[in-house]
Amino acid sequence: MVVNSKKNNSAFDFSKAKNELDQIIQTLREENTSLDLAVELYERGLKLTVDLEKYLKKTKNRIIEIKAKSQLD
């Protein structure tokens, strides 16, 4: 059963952000990437990394809360 829940972090699409970060990494590995583009992509990649880590931390904490609540019931 697949549930489409957008309640938590509704504005953030983890898969989309991860895919964008993967594309940035691929582009940065190419030898013909200009320095200006590389710096721009690096900056965007750092922001995506921070956003992804925040999302994962928030999701982990939510799972911990759910587990704790289920043990009380």
CA-based torsion, 31, 32, 35, 37: positive or negative:
negative
- How many Å apart are CA 71 and CA 34, to the nearest integer? 54
DSSP state of 30: S
**Paired tokens of 13:** 């699409």
Residue 12 has phi, psi (to 5 degrees) of: -105, 125
**68: in domain:** yes
**49: in domain:** yes
**51: in domain:** yes
**67: in domain:** yes
**2: in domain:** no
pLDDT digits (tens, 9 = 90+) for 51-71: 999 999 999 999 999 999 998
Q: How many domains does one find in the chain?
A: 1
Q: Does residue 2 register a pLDDT over 80?
A: no
Q: Does residue 10 register a pLDDT over 90?
A: no
**34: in domain:** yes
**6: in domain:** no
**Residue 7's pLDDT band (boundaries 50, 70, 90)?**
low
- How many Å apart are CA 25 and CA 18, to the nearest integer? 11
